[in-house]
A and B are shown apart, each in its own frame.
Chain A
């Protein structure tokens, strides 16, 4: 091993205090106070500091957002309900006010998803970002206005009675030269639901007498197509004239509902009868349209005394992404204005327009102008003068906005801005929490101090009182208070205080029991200190840390209690309430999850930060942990 050689010379060392008298010296470092030390130790706890910062941000937001946000949270505005969260410009693809929906009924006629009637087809088309229609239709057994095809299902109404069903409520006159045909195609699918395929008959009916009937097919289970020559049958029956309806009759049985399926019916005429009602072809191919026909006077109307339904109606579904803001605030209606109107606006100074340049030259000058964009213009060919313009105006102007509003977190069922509403509610909760914590802190401190300091019978009596009041579950106290005093903010404060102070009192009492026998208290007492001085100067400062931390936790518990009560329908009324908002939005969890998830995240974040902050505070303030790290 290599050895190192270190040499010391006499002048390497200097005496620090040679020929100087050693006396007491003032400390040169600054003395640290309790609070400074606590702060230093708090700062060492990284998670608590992070929590404190998050908490500070949330608190700043609760103060600023309700104050600065221009959005509406007071007047219900139904048209603006359920807007999607929008932070970025439309078209960004993320957080841009669009909402994706899957498996929505497709309106094949207008080629848009079937949305509420409030929105015009044009508005929906304009707002659609993307649309994919499932290529395979689904089969449903109910009549939908968007369905097509399917078969008519005639069924007995009750399991015991024979029921008649008719085709065409209007009697048709078959009296003519001939060639009237009735073509019916039946379906033969067994067992739809719990019902069963049944026996049926078809006949032409002119009146109630037996001889007024022409039987087409008697009761049977024959589901083969029918092609029936009415004119021939009339000849066979020796009838010269016949005016009637086609009647289907399904025989009921006691064991199950019976039905028949009819794919198509076609009643086609030969020649036109003179001076008679024209027999239009009474037929249907599209059973869904037929079922949806509610016009009793039309020739194809199917009146029915049993159950008339549809089976296997085809319905298409689609997935789409829609810009909810365009849908509500945009305007799809292109309006044509004449040149005179436009000139009128220009004269009034509302806008400027130069038709020789074209639609791009339109400049909107004041808010009075109803038009925002000019889409196209028509110029007279002969005079080369402007005849009309086609323009559109934004819907949001009609709703009182200067520009397209955008809600960071969307709107709820009442059209309220969720972001503002959440923070306004949180503000109420925080104010309530801080007030309650402050009151409970003061009251509990005094109560606990008296009880702990004096002990004996005073303590016994006060403890029993606490035991009884503390034995009532807080929910019972709250409920009784609210039932008696109404659910206003004062009642909440009162009820929360009633249950809250006992924790502080108990904690203070324990601390007092711990410290009142200590030597320094005894010394002070021997020197003649009064009770007041002993309590406030000597014992309290030592036990303050724990009590203050408990009060911080109190704030979170108040926020939590407020929300819990709202879920039990006892929510705070008359002020913005976080709990009431959450409880109301809960029902939209399935359709608009953002309405629940955002407040939930904020609340959880707040609770987590408060807890972490409180823990850090407890560790920092606790004198017994001083220097332990």
Chain B
């Protein structure tokens, strides 16, 4: 088992590495965008890139190195000419920078000359807080609703819950956000229509969480509810539950002690995976509600054509989704003793 876990993690690392490498090369193949700002900023940026090994600097024009990226202003009769390093060489340098210095590059136009890791760290907190809150809200609610629907299977309650879940799971998140904003922010005026700034009062900040948490957890609530209902219904029809009832357990005892435990087996890993998965945050929610998280960063860096930041953001999303997959796979094995990890078919 330990061997399988190691193998699985190792494979995930390899996959992540290959994907990030491909993404890096594809991003670097994009046409070069000039950094914004005056000569001071530009020189600072290009010197950093030179240091990281992504550009070359010459004292005269070198057309054989491709298009000229930037010509520094002439000082003391000398000007520098910056050219891009070949992409594969950049890739090698990038590997070196990341592995040895944990240096992920610098922003060129979004927040000029700020390290990507600094930008990410300043924003990831918002996304994490929001998503943890939404998991805390959605997991109990979703599971409770699912259990309720399963216990009242084929009654009006069950049909109502199932229909509502069906409807709400089909509504795209941006539509939901639009409606919620329309009703609670514009019509009733109870909640703010954008994310309150950091300087806002605590009460305003708390209010600011309500809409995003609601919108984020809504889909998950429906998802959990459907999942739990299906699982529990299946378990309730199983023979061992019938046996439990025949040997004299009350319905409550049979459900709590036998059905629930078994139904939770596939549900728990999915909670864990979701917990990791949504750390990435919802890009649409963040950009519509103006939340300064990493989802909004994706949109912003795209708008600014700040591809280095975009790449780091993409890397985070990729890593998170792969990590969620691994956790999902492994937790099945740990939780359910019937599943032998890595067993031959």
A positions within 8 Å CB-CB of B: 47, 467-468, 471-473, 475-476, 479-480, 483-484, 556, 560, 563-564, 567-570, 582, 586, 589-590, 593, 596-597, 600, 603-604, 607-608, 610-612
Least distance between B227 CB and chain A CB atoms (Å): 15
Are A611 and B303 in contact, with the CB atoms below 8 A?
A: no
Are B166 and A568 in contact, with the CB atoms below 8 A?
A: no
Q: Apart from A473-B314, A563-B172, A597-B178, what are 16 other A-B pairs with CB-CB below 8 Å?
A: A468-B18, A472-B19, A475-B317, A479-B302, A484-B29, A484-B30, A567-B287, A568-B283, A569-B299, A589-B181, A589-B182, A589-B186, A590-B186, A590-B193, A600-B175, A603-B172
Report B-chain residues with C-beta under 8 Å of the C-beta of A479. 302, 310, 314
Is B23 among interface residues, defined by CB-CB distance under 8 A? yes
CA distance A476 to B299 in the complex (A): 12
Is B26 among interface residues, defined by CB-CB distance under 8 A? yes
CA distance A586 to B19 in the complex (A): 34
Least distance between B59 CB and chain A CB atoms (Å): 33
Known A480-B26, A568-B283; contact A471-B318, beta-carbon cutoff 8 A: yes
Are A473 and B317 in contact, with the CB atoms below 8 A?
A: yes
Least distance between B345 CB and chain A CB atoms (Å): 8
Is B170 among interface residues, defined by CB-CB distance under 8 A? yes
Question: Chain B: which residue is nearest A602 at the CB level?
Answer: B175
Report B-chain residues with C-beta under 8 Å of the C-beta of A567. 174, 283-284, 287-288
Q: List 20 A-B contacts (CB under 8 A).
A: A472-B22, A476-B314, A476-B317, A479-B314, A560-B172, A563-B174, A564-B172, A567-B283, A586-B288, A589-B181, A589-B182, A589-B186, A590-B186, A596-B178, A600-B175, A600-B179, A604-B167, A604-B175, A607-B172, A608-B167
CA distance A597 to B177 in the complex (A): 11
Report A-chain residues with C-beta under 8 Å of the C-beta of B167. 604, 608
Give the residue of B23, B175, B179, B302 whose beta carbon is less than 8 angstroms from that of A570.
B302
Least distance between A422 CB and chain B CB atoms (Å): 13
Least distance between B47 CB and chain A CB atoms (Å): 26
Least distance between B316 CB and chain A CB atoms (Å): 10
Are B284 and A604 in contact, with the CB atoms below 8 A?
A: no
CA distance A332 to B283 in the complex (A): 48
| CB interface residues, B 172-230, toward A, < 8 Å | 172, 174-175, 178-179, 181-182, 186, 193
CA distance A266 to B307 in the complex (A): 66
Least distance between B154 CB and chain A CB atoms (Å): 13
B positions within 8 Å CB-CB of A: 15-16, 18-19, 22-23, 26-27, 29-30, 163, 166-167, 169-172, 174-175, 178-179, 181-182, 186, 193, 283-284, 287-288, 298-299, 302-303, 307, 310, 314, 317-318, 321-322, 325
Are A569 and B175 in contact, with the CB atoms below 8 A?
A: no
Report A-chain residues with C-beta under 8 Å of the C-beta of B288. 567, 586
Are B179 and A476 in contact, with the CB atoms below 8 A?
A: no
CA distance A556 to B172 in the complex (A): 10
Are B175 and A564 in contact, with the CB atoms below 8 A?
A: no
Report A-chain residues with C-beta under 8 Å of the C-beta of B314. 473, 476, 479
Known A473-B321, A476-B317, A560-B172; contact A467-B15, beta-carbon cutoff 8 A: yes
CA distance A560 to B321 in the complex (A): 20
Instruction: Pick the most buried of A471, A564, A570, A610: most chain B CB atoms within 10 A of its CB.
Output: A471
Report A-chain residues with C-beta under 8 Å of the C-beta of B27. 480
Known A471-B15, A567-B287, A586-B288; contact A611-B182, beta-carbon cutoff 8 A: no
CA distance A191 to B287 in the complex (A): 40
Question: Chain B: which residue is nearest A483 at the CB level?
Answer: B30
Are B175 and A603 in contact, with the CB atoms below 8 A?
A: yes
Question: Chain B: which residue is nearest A604 at the CB level?
Answer: B171
Are A608 and B321 in contact, with the CB atoms below 8 A?
A: no
Least distance between B19 CB and chain A CB atoms (Å): 5
Are B181 and A564 in contact, with the CB atoms below 8 A?
A: no
Least distance between B160 CB and chain A CB atoms (Å): 13
Are B178 and A586 in contact, with the CB atoms below 8 A?
A: yes
Known A568-B283, A569-B303, A600-B179; contact A611-B30, beta-carbon cutoff 8 A: no
Are B318 and A473 in contact, with the CB atoms below 8 A?
A: yes
The 4 A-B residue pairs whose C-beta atoms are closest, nearest first, are A607-B170, A608-B170, A600-B175, A604-B171
Question: Chain B: which residue is nearest A582 at the CB level?
Answer: B174
Report B-chain residues with C-beta under 8 Å of the C-beta of A582. 174
CA distance A569 to B325 in the complex (A): 29
CA distance A41 to B30 in the complex (A): 53
Report A-chain residues with C-beta under 8 Å of the C-beta of B18. 468
Report B-chain residues with C-beta under 8 Å of the C-beta of A610. 170
Give the residue of A480, A484, A590, A607 whose beta carbon is less than 8 angstroms from that of B23.
A480
Report B-chain residues with C-beta under 8 Å of the C-beta of A590. 182, 186, 193
Least distance between B277 CB and chain A CB atoms (Å): 10
Instruction: Pick the most buried of B22, B29, B174: most chain A CB atoms within 10 A of its CB.
Output: B174
Least distance between B20 CB and chain A CB atoms (Å): 10
Least distance between A142 CB and chain B CB atoms (Å): 22
Least distance between A586 CB and chain B CB atoms (Å): 7
Report B-chain residues with C-beta under 8 Å of the C-beta of A589. 178, 181-182, 186
Report A-chain residues with C-beta under 8 Å of the C-beta of B172. 560, 563-564, 603-604, 607
Least distance between A301 CB and chain B CB atoms (Å): 41
Least distance between A134 CB and chain B CB atoms (Å): 18
CA distance A600 to B176 in the complex (A): 8
Are B318 and A568 in contact, with the CB atoms below 8 A?
A: no
CA distance A476 to B169 in the complex (A): 24
Are B166 and A472 in contact, with the CB atoms below 8 A?
A: no
Report A-chain residues with C-beta under 8 Å of the C-beta of B174. 563-564, 567, 582, 586
Report A-chain residues with C-beta under 8 Å of the C-beta of B318. 471-473, 476
Report B-chain residues with C-beta under 8 Å of the C-beta of A563. 172, 174
Report B-chain residues with C-beta under 8 Å of the C-beta of A473. 314, 317-318, 321
Report B-chain residues with C-beta under 8 Å of the C-beta of A468. 15, 18-19
Give the residue of B19, B29, B166, B284 whose beta carbon is less than 8 angstroms from that of A471.
B19
Report B-chain residues with C-beta under 8 Å of the C-beta of A586. 174, 178, 288
Least distance between A589 CB and chain B CB atoms (Å): 6
Least distance between A477 CB and chain B CB atoms (Å): 9
CA distance A593 to B186 in the complex (A): 10
Give the residue of B166, B283, B287, B317 whose beta carbon is less than 8 angstroms from that of A612.
B166
Least distance between A612 CB and chain B CB atoms (Å): 7
Report A-chain residues with C-beta under 8 Å of the C-beta of B283. 475, 567-568
Instruction: Pick the most buried of A472, A484, A569, A597: most chain B CB atoms within 10 A of its CB.
Output: A472
Are B317 and A471 in contact, with the CB atoms below 8 A?
A: no
Are A569 and B178 in contact, with the CB atoms below 8 A?
A: no
Known A568-B283, A612-B166; contact A593-B171, beta-carbon cutoff 8 A: no
Question: Chain A: which residue is nearest B171 at the CB level?
Answer: A604
Question: Chain B: which residue is nearest A590 at the CB level?
Answer: B186
Question: Chain A: which residue is nearest B193 at the CB level?
Answer: A590
Least distance between B130 CB and chain A CB atoms (Å): 18
Least distance between A357 CB and chain B CB atoms (Å): 53
Question: Chain A: which residue is nearest B18 at the CB level?
Answer: A468
CA distance A556 to B16 in the complex (A): 29
CA distance A335 to B18 in the complex (A): 76
CA distance A611 to B298 in the complex (A): 30
